[in-house]
Structure 1
Amino acid sequence: MHANATAGTLRIEQLVKEYRPGQPVLKGIDLAVSGTGLTSIIGPSGTGKSTLIRCINRLVDPTAGRILLELQGQRVDMAQLRGSALRAARRHIGMVFQEYNLVERLTVLENLLTGRLGYLSAWRAWRRRFEAEDVAYALELLQTVGLADFATRRVDALSGGQRQRVGIARALMQRPAVLLADEPTSSLDPKTSVEIMEMLREQGRARGIPVLVNIHDVELARRYSDRIVGMTGGRVVYDGPPPGLQDAHLRQIYGGEAWLA
């Protein structure tokens, strides 16, 4: 167990994102995520799922609204942070990407250690002079994700599933207060997708942190989520437990009947 003292609550209030003026992709999203558990965000392509995830850690700048995250006993508004304050807050948000976002020419261990760059001085980061305890923690995480024998293997020699395990371990290197995953299974086969969702759920529970996953596969979401948020047209239209997600909700989220057959 790796209980995380910084784990807290994420609260999104009236979040709006416009890439073009007057054409919002997110239309006043309200969402509260407390404690632990895996929350899956489902919905059709183009409805703002990835934009929502990316607004939380400010890979995308929101147009309006608040993103309140409790970090080390203090509540910060991610939407308002700039410069060094934003970089400091981002340290506490783990991110797992659809296309892995790893440094291909580095080893698995070196990729994990990049998750600690935000805590190093510029000089130590440039020299890649990592603390012994960080190296030990990275090796422990590789054991956790089933890659203990791959520490010195270059990332470009790994399979897609192995790369995503490296991505999860790298996100956990940050000892995050919240873990975000943007379509982490979309490039993977069904068996590997199940393994990755299991791992995300287990690690969130083990570390006492909430996990938010943007996912296209409704059945995977039903199977592994504690909560499902259904979006369509930039709005939340369902927010509740998986058993409560009925065909009527899915028709509202995705439209039409044919895909339910």
Structure 2
Amino acid sequence: MNNAGNGARPRSLSVENLEKAYRSGKPVLKGISFQVEGAITLGIIGPSGSGKSTMLRCINRLIEPTAGRIVVAGQDVAGLSGTALRHARRHIGMVFQEFNLVERLSVIENVLCGRLGYISPFKAWLRKYPQEDIDKAFALIDHVGLGDFYNQRADSLSGGQRQRVGIARAVMQEPDIIMADEPTSSLDPKTSVEIMELLRQFSRERDIPMLVNIHDVELAKRFCDRIIGISQGVVVFDGPPGELTTSDLKAIYGGEDWLA
């Protein structure tokens, strides 16, 4: 599964001076900059309202950045629109907090939705996928441990199973980066560990960056190679988990009572 060495596209993300303001003069993101490349799991931590989810939504262009550059696999996606943006977004996989599955469709159909950006709208409407895509979808479903559930409707699955489907759908895009927005927030501790293990595994197997917005600091320290801490729209920590100190956590989250 490893894409390293294909020479086609760099598996990388560069965010340069990213700003987002919903109202003039009140920025949510204030000059965010960082770079990631290859098989790295990047944890993004910070309090609610710090701008973590806004940053991910700017990167995949679900919302428009106010300023800055977002370079995915060598292409600045910040200024793209129309067909060019649609093509660029094929290479950005997204795993959502609330799964965002089509509830009435089966597991295999939901995973195949990861290929919608690669087929014509008419074929997408008919759900006519190449056999190669179908074979890959079955292989991914096996890989995430749902081989016995491929024909079940998404609304019949548990939360952990739904998140596995969401991960398989993102990987099905053959992306250059994958971003996960609070992928464990609605899951029990055991399932949360399994989901983080799965995300890290795909990062390493595919040699692609994995960005994970996560509230659980201990999970971030356990599974991430690097952690970025955001507070009030500014990066206040960027480094390996082993360097994240109590003082850093106070700077990120504010106050001391929550650490007691």
TM-score bucket of the superposed structures, by smaller chain: over 0.9
Q: Tell me how far 1:8 sits from its aligned partner.
A: 2.1
2:181 equivalent in structure 1: 182
TM-fit CA distance, 1:20: 1.1
Letter in 1 for 2:53: S
Which residues in structure 2 correspond to 1:206-245 (within 5 Å)? Answer: 206-245=205-244
Matched to 1:225, the amino acid is C
Q: What is the aligned partner in structure 2 of residue 16 from structure 1?
A: 19
Q: Do the aligned residues in 2 keep the contact of 1:36 with 1:204 (CA within 8 Å)?
A: yes
Cross-structure match for 1:49: 52
User: Among the aligned pairs, what percent are the same residue?
Assistant: 62
Query: TM-score if structure 2 supplies the norm length?
Result: 0.97
Q: What root-mean-square deviation, in Å, do the aligned CA atoms of Structure 1 and Structure 2 show?
A: 0.9
1:39 and 2:42 matched? yes
> How many pairs are equivalent?
257
Per the alignment, residue 3 of structure 1 pairs with: 3
Pick which of 95-104 and 120-129 moved more. Answer: 120-129
Deviations 1:171-229 (A, max 9, x none): 00001110000110111111111100010001100111000000000000000000000
Secondary structure of 2:33's counterpart equals: strand
Task: Give the Cα–Cα distance (whole angstroms) in 2 for the partners of residues 168 and 212 of structure 1.
Answer: 13
Matches within 5 A, 1:39-188: 39-70=42-73, 75-188=74-187
Q: Secondary structure at the match of 2:129?
A: coil
Is the Cα–Cα contact under 8 Å of residues 179 and 210 in structure 1 kept in the other structure?
A: yes
Give SS of 1:66's match: strand
Q: Which runs of 5+ in 2 are unaligned?
A: none
Structure 1 spans left out of the alignment, 5+ residues = none
- Secondary structure of 2:22's aligned partner: strand
- Correspondence for 1:204: 203
- CA displacement at 1:256 relative to structure 2: 1.0
What's the offset of the Cα at 1:7? 4.3
Secondary structure, in 3 states, of the residue corresponding to 1:39? strand
Deviation at 1:12, TM superposition (A): 0.6
Given residue 199 of structure 2, which amino acid in structure 1 is its aligned partner? L
Where do 4+ consecutive residues of structure 1 move more than 6 Å? none
- C-alpha separation between the residues in 2 aligned to 1:226 and 1:60? 28
Maintained 8 Å contact 1:145/1:165: yes
Task: Kindly provide the CA deviation profile for residues 7-49 of structure 1, in whole angstroms up to 9, marking residues without a partner as x.
Answer: 4221111100001111100001011111221000000000000
Equivalent-residue separation in structure 2 for 1:54 and 1:29 (angstroms): 14
Shift of 1:98: 0.1
Report the counterpart of residue 33 of structure 2 in structure 1.
30
The Cα of 1:2 is off from its aligned counterpart by: 3.1
Q: 1:230 corresponds to which letter in structure 2? A: G
